[in-house]
Amino acid sequence: MMGEGKSAWTPEQLATMARLRDAAMKDSYAFDRLRHLTDNIGPRLSGSPQAQQAVDYVAAEMRALGAKVTLEKAMVPHWVRGAESAEVVKWPGQTPETTQKIVLTALGPSVATPPEGITAEVVAVKDWKQLHALPADAVKGKILLFNHPFDKELAAEGNGLQAYVGGVIYRAAGASAGAALGAVAVLVRSVGGADFRLPHTGEMEYSPGVARIPAAAVTAEDADLLSDLVAQGPVALHLTLTPRALPDAESDNVIADWPGSEHPEQIVVVSGHLDSWDLGTGAIDDGAGVVVSMETIRLMSQLGIHPRRTIRIIAWMSEEEGSQGAAAYMADHGSDMANHVGAIESDLGADHPTGIYYAGKADLGSWLQPVAQVLGAIGGETLTAAPETGADIEGLTEKGVPSFAPIQDSRFYFNYHHTAADTLDKVNPGHLNENAAVNAVLAYALADSPEPAPR
């Protein structure tokens, strides 16, 4: 690609990118903010007091750097986890008077069982095909288990996201599919690679017009245990889940602008989502994405860089429970997409970034070649076209805004994703800095090029 046409950036601008990259690699700003978000504030479930504390924290930190901060309202779900337990109470080969514990966690926004729980026979299937091959009444009154394995080989090859997408449909749609056939509850095998009997929570959706039944994720080990027993004979499970859906809560996206020196009305979005699931502390999903975005303004401030266009940091609210923050942004700014010249979201953890995903015109790849060269010094020179780049910026991508994401090493991300093990220790400070460097260099490139990125 090099040598085909001229670089969009001058040698001075490329030198500024190198300065941003090197400063990001030396800084502990992002990691220190991540420590506060995770260890001090803790889990940030949408609608929770911690999520709101995090909104105030990010806003104050951005103001302290001289950014222009606004909080933009979004109504978000406020679902609260309750008790969650299950025991196999009947199975082939059972020792009399014993039960076996099953490790699971409710999916959001699952409805509850009665407080004393329910007891029902278990039907296990691997996928839709097996479900639809069952006799008409096979699921009626039963607990339906989807035991669809996470493709660990695919993840180990570096395609974590593809492995995740391959299984997430059962988590999202399994409850209503089961309810339509008369199931009283649905269990799904956790969508993730954890090997230590850890359940992975996540979002599910109830289809309109179908009964809402309780839904939980069991660990991979427990899914296999149940399937093994079901293959041998009748298995009954006692299941207790007592989550509650409280009224929707008022929350905010945090918007922090570093105003452009020539075209302040033209905007480059740099973002991550501030809410998290509640089992861990949301370090890799997605505290990391928020702090590497914050770092972009930190570096602009520290190095005194004022690009032509505005760099807008967004800490999105409620990505995990339906992207209500992103929807509110599109409702408020959807008519101004011509002035949104680029959007970045980091939401695939904080491991080593090998480069940049881009969605939009095919020319974006060759246009970004000089930027990729700057990132080559930290092993981030790959440019890969992708259909989409992040859930919160999907609306912008659909409106034709060129969009981007760091390509994080995804081999390990889904071992911890949405589990109690999503904690600060999973983040390597050096890798976090590499992600901050990718964000800052790319944001500067988009905000200071003479012409906006091709679209």
To the nearest whole angstrom, how small is the minimum distance from the Cβ of residue 120 to Zn ion? 33
345 binds Zn ion (CB under 5 A): no
**272/446 Cα distance (integer angstroms):** 18
Q: Which of residues 400-429 bind Zn ion (CB under 5 A)?
A: none
To the nearest whole angstrom, how small is the minimum distance from the Cβ of residue 55 to Zn ion? 17
252 binds Zn ion (CB under 5 A): no
Minimum CB distance to Zn ion smaller for 239 or for 438: 438
394 binds Zn ion (CB under 5 A): no
Minimum CB distance to Zn ion smaller for 34 or for 374: 34
**Tokens 């994405």 belong to which residue?**
289
Query: Which of 2, 76, 8 lies closest to 448 in space, CA to CA?
Result: 8
Minimum CB distance to Zn ion smaller for 240 or for 251: 251
For the beta carbon of residue 363, count every other beta carbon within 10 angstroms. 13
**424/80 Cα distance (integer angstroms):** 23
To the nearest whole angstrom, how small is the minimum distance from the Cβ of residue 162 to Zn ion? 16
Stretch that binds Zn ion, among 173-181, 283-291, 294-302, 375-383 (CB under 5 A): 283-291
**Under a CB-based contact definition with an 8 Å cutoff, are residues 331 and 395 in contact?**
no
Minimum CB distance to Zn ion smaller for 171 or for 238: 171
203 binds Zn ion (CB under 5 A): no
Give Rg (Cα) of the chain: 23
**324/336 Cα distance (integer angstroms):** 19
Of 61, 221, 295, 319, which is the active-site residue?
A: 319
**Under a CB-based contact definition with an 8 Å cutoff, are residues 58 and 274 in contact?**
yes
To the nearest whole angstrom, how small is the minimum distance from the Cβ of residue 46 to Zn ion? 12
To the nearest whole angstrom, how small is the minimum distance from the Cβ of residue 124 to Zn ion? 29
- # residues near Zn ion by CB under 5 A: 3
Q: Which of 252, 278, 345, 347 binds Zn ion (CB under 5 A)?
A: 347
**Under a CB-based contact definition with an 8 Å cutoff, are residues 402 and 342 in contact?**
yes
Minimum CB distance to Zn ion smaller for 189 or for 273: 273
Cα 404 to the center of its chain, rounded Å: 15
Token pair, residue 253, equals 């996206």
To the nearest whole angstrom, how small is the minimum distance from the Cβ of residue 418 to Zn ion? 9
285 binds Zn ion (CB under 5 A): yes
Minimum CB distance to Zn ion smaller for 221 or for 285: 285
Phi, psi of 218 (to 5 degrees): -95, 160
To the nearest whole angstrom, how small is the minimum distance from the Cβ of residue 12 to Zn ion? 36
Stretch that binds Zn ion, among 123-131, 259-267, 341-349, 402-410 (CB under 5 A): 341-349
To the nearest whole angstrom, how small is the minimum distance from the Cβ of residue 347 to Zn ion? 4
Asked about 388 being catalytic, the answer comes back as: no
Q: Which of 84, 286, 295, 351 binds Zn ion (CB under 5 A)?
A: 286
84 binds Zn ion (CB under 5 A): no
Stretch that binds Zn ion, among 68-76, 106-114, 258-266, 346-354 (CB under 5 A): 346-354
Q: Which of residues 119-158 bind Zn ion (CB under 5 A)?
A: none
27 binds Zn ion (CB under 5 A): no
Minimum CB distance to Zn ion smaller for 257 or for 347: 347
Token pair, residue 33, equals 């903010």
Minimum CB distance to Zn ion smaller for 285 or for 448: 285
The residue ranges that bind Zn ion (CB under 5 A) are 285-286, 347
The residues that are catalytic are 319
